[in-house]
Amino acid sequence: MSKFISVDTIENSTNKTISVDFNEKIDGLDCVTPVSAQLTFQSLGEFIEVKGNVKTIVKLQCDRCLENFDYKLDFDIDEMFAKQALLEDYGPEYELKDGQFVTDLNGCDEIDIYDLLYQSVILNLPNQKVCGINCMGKDFPTEDSMSDPRLDVFKNIQIQPKNK
């Protein structure tokens, strides 16, 4: 499968729409299963809309116990790409409102599917990675169990306040 979708191919297709089935591993993602995606690319004049669904299982490390675990991802994509540079039309200051996240192709004639899916998977990972609801975490060493004999000299230091 090609890593890129040409803007011209989308423009010249029936209804200016192309459907793509993707099922591959993506470099940089620790996936247990290949990234599986059903994507639809549609030209909407100056924009290209990408919609679809993405599924995979990634290997994560638990933030509490530091053990590796499998995390199932199943999410929808709804992205917009601007064919031409946005700033030329809107000037240097342009306010984005809710739902107006647009990737600027800057006149480039291809959309990188790998990059689109890589970024989408990364953005859909949980902020706090926890292997399970009952994870209590690891017993990390306490101050008493980490006694370093070289630091014993500091245990008996007495600091006297300075008189003014």
Nearest to 54 by CA among 83, 29, 85: 29
**What is the rounded distance in angstroms from the CA atom of residue 94 to the CA atom of residue 90?**
6
Q: Mind listing the pLDDT tens digit for each residue in 43-82?
A: 988 889 999 999 999 999 999 999 999 999 999 999 988 8
pTM for the full predicted model: 0.73
